[in-house]
Amino acid sequence: MTSNPTVFLDHQASTPVSQAVLEAMLPYFSGGYANPHSEDHSAGWAASQAIEAAREQVACAVGAEPSEIVFTSGATESNNLALLGAAAADGERGAIVVSAIEHKSVLAIGRALQRAGRELRVVPVDESGLLNIDALAAAIYGDVTIVSIGAVNNEIGVVQDMAAVADLCRSRGALLHSDVTQGVGWSAVDVETMGVDLASFSAHKLRGPKGIGALFVSLAATDRIAPVMHGGGQERGLRPGTLPTPLCVGFGAACTLLPNKADVESWRLVTRHLLNGVEQLFPNLILNGAGDPRHPGNLNFRVPGIDAQLLVARAQPHVALSRGAACTSGIPEQSHVLRAIGLSEEEADASIRLSTGLDTTFSEIDAAIVELAKAAYLPESL
Ligand code: PMP
* Domain harbouring 54, CATH code: 3.40.640.10
Do residues 249 and 267 share a domain? Answer: no
- CATH number reported for the structural domain that contains residue 367 in this entry: 3.90.1150.10
**Considering only CA atoms, which residue is closest to atom 12 of ligand 1?**
75
Q: Is 2 part of a structural domain of the chain?
A: no
For ligand 1, what atom is nearest to the CA of residue 327? 8
Residue ending a domain, choose from 255, 278, 305: 255
Q: 198 and 333 share a domain?
A: no
Residue 312 falls within a domain, yes or no? yes
182 alpha carbon – ligand 1 mean position (Å): 8
Residues 77 and 173 in one domain: yes
Say how many CA atoms lie within 13 Å of 335 toward its Cβ: 33
Among residues 255, 272, 303, the one where a domain terminates is 255
337 lies in the same domain as 270: yes
Dist. CA 184 → ligand 1 center (Å) = 12
Q: Which residue among 58, 204, 327, 336 has the greatest number of ligand 1 atoms within 8 angstroms of its CB, and so is best to mutate?
A: 327
Strand partners for 70:
215
Q: Ligand 1 mean position to 72 CA, how many Å?
A: 12
- 169 a catalytic residue: no
User: Is 144 a domain residue?
Assistant: yes
Ligand 1 touching residue 103 (CB < 6 A): yes
pLDDT at 1: 42
Structural domain count, the chain: 2
Q: Specify whether 151 is located in the same domain as 41.
A: yes
Residue 235 and residue 278 in one domain: no
Q: What is the pLDDT of residue 340?
A: 96
Q: Indicate whether 39 and 185 sit together in one domain.
A: yes
Do 201 and 280 fall within a single domain?
no
Q: Which amino acid appears at position 332 of this protein?
A: P
Q: Which pTM does this prediction carry?
A: 0.95
Q: At what angle do helices 19-30 and 245-255 cross, to 10 degrees?
A: 160
Question: Which one from 60, 169, 255, 327 is the annotated catalytic residue?
Answer: 327
- Closest atom of ligand 1 to 202 CA is 15
Same domain, 271 and 240: no
Domain final position from 229, 255, 281:
255
- Residue 330: the pLDDT is 57
Task: Provide the pLDDT for residue 325.
Answer: 62
Domain housing 81: 19-255
Residue 380 lies in a domain: no
Q: Is the CB of 328 under 6 A from ligand 1?
A: no
| Rounded Cα distance, 97 and 107, in Å | 10
**Among protein residues, the one whose CA lies closest to atom 9 of ligand 1:** 75
pLDDT, block means (10 residues), the chain with 382 residues: 75 97 97 94 97 98 97 98 97 94 97 96 97 96 97 97 96 96 91 96 98 97 96 94 98 97 96 97 95 94 94 96 67 85 95 96 97 81 40
Residue 47 lies in a domain: yes
Atom of ligand 1 nearest to the CA of 79: 10
Would you say residue 344 lies in a domain?
yes
Spell out the long-range contacts of 314-317 with Cβ–Cβ below 8 A and sequence spacing 24 or more: 314/374, 314/375, 314/376, 314/378, 315/371, 315/372, 315/375, 317/2, 317/4, 317/6
Q: Are residues 247 and 119 in the same domain?
A: yes
Task: Say yes or no: 228 and 105 in one domain.
Answer: yes
Residue 204 Cα, ligand 1 centroid: separation in angstroms? 9
Q: State if residue 209 touches ligand 1 by the CB under 6 angstroms criterion.
A: no
Cα 183 to averaged position of ligand 1 atoms, centre (Å): 11
Spatial distance between the Cα atoms of 366 and 346, rounded to a whole number of angstroms? 29
Atom of ligand 1 minimally distant from the CA of 152: 3
Ligand 1: centre distance to CA 281 (Å): 31
In a domain, 1, yes or no: no
Same domain, 161 and 214: yes
CB of 202 shorter than 6 A to ligand 1: yes
Q: Is residue 381 part of a domain?
A: no
Q: What is the pLDDT of residue 381?
A: 39
